[in-house]
């Protein structure tokens, strides 16, 4: 059984939420993620692919109609 404490712990654990979502977007072809050196630090940098841009634009249009 999942408790409210489990939910709170998961909500506070950003890595547990973000990385699976990013992995799904990469696997789906919506994001391209690479390690780059930014200001002397190695970081993961993600950019929308063409497919990701198209999905973003489509979602934004739907969202605008719902407002």
Which sequence spans correspond to the domains of the chain?
4-66
What is the per-residue pLDDT for 15?
63
**The whole model's pTM is what?**
0.65
* CB-side neighbour CA atoms (13 Å) of 56: 11
Alpha helix segments (H runs only) across the chain: 4-12, 14-27, 50-66
Q: Which fold has domain 4-66?
A: Arc Repressor Mutant, subunit A (1.10.10)
What is the per-residue pLDDT for 54?
95
* Of the candidates 7, 48, 42, the residue with the CA atom closest to the CA atom of residue 30: 48
Tell me: the pLDDT tens digits for 20-59?
888 899 999 999 999 999 889 999 889 999 999 999 999 9
């Amino acid at each position: 059984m999942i408790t409210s404490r489990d939910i709170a712990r998961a909500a506070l654990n950003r890595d547990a939420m973000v990385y699976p979502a990013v992995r799904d977007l990469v696997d789906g072809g919506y994001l391209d993620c690479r390690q780059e050196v930014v200001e002397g630090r190695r970081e993961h940098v993600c950019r929308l692919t063409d497919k990701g841009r198209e999905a973003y634009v489509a979602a934004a249009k739907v969202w605008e109609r719902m407002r």
